[in-house]
Amino acid sequence: MSAHSALYLDDLHVGMSESSPARTVTEADVVMFAALSGDFNWLHTDAHRAAQSEFGERIAHGLLGTSIASGLFTRTAFSQSLQDSLVAMLGVDCKFERPIHIGDTLHVEAQIVSIRPGADGKRGIATIERRVINQHGERVQLLTTPMLIRRSIAGTQEVTAHDDSH
């Protein structure tokens, strides 16, 4: 898929998928996210106490992982091809399945799991499942994101022509 070809709702199909580049989670990421979010929970900020936890060390914030996944997804040709047609991200259902450790290298495997045209015929909702995978091939997060996407001009003309015939 070319990073420069615009995609609209009519161009998408269930099962369409792409993987992102990878990125390593650093201590600086965790420290900056704690400062930005105000979440200084000891699991993320206290190395001594976190060493005594079930995880044996500090872990990244779950929402830091979600934020990194969002950034990785925007680096895919698929996401870049939606820049002209994406109206809004309507939400994110987050499942935190495994801890993300400092030093983990993450990538995102994104796949369209459903498409629903809107009642107005001009746009619809494509739901994208983003699996966040670590360097061991383990899924650490599952993010389900409905996105409001415009239909192509040709697609809206088909709807208008169909609606006019009634």
The tens digit of pLDDT for each residue in 5-56 reads 899 999 999 999 999 999 999 999 999 999 999 999 999 999 999 999 999 9
pTM of the model: 0.87
Locate the domains of the chain by residue range: 9-164
Look at residue 67 in the predicted model and tell me its pLDDT: 98
The tens digit of pLDDT for each residue in 104-123 reads 999 999 999 999 999 999 99
- The CATH superfamily assigned to 9-164 is Hotdog Thioesterase (3.10.129.10)
Look at residue 46 in the predicted model and tell me its pLDDT: 97
* Long-range contact set of residues 81-84: C-beta below 8 Å, sequence gap at least 24: 81/1, 81/2, 81/3, 81/4, 81/5, 81/6, 81/7, 82/6, 82/7, 82/147, 82/149, 83/6, 84/6, 84/150
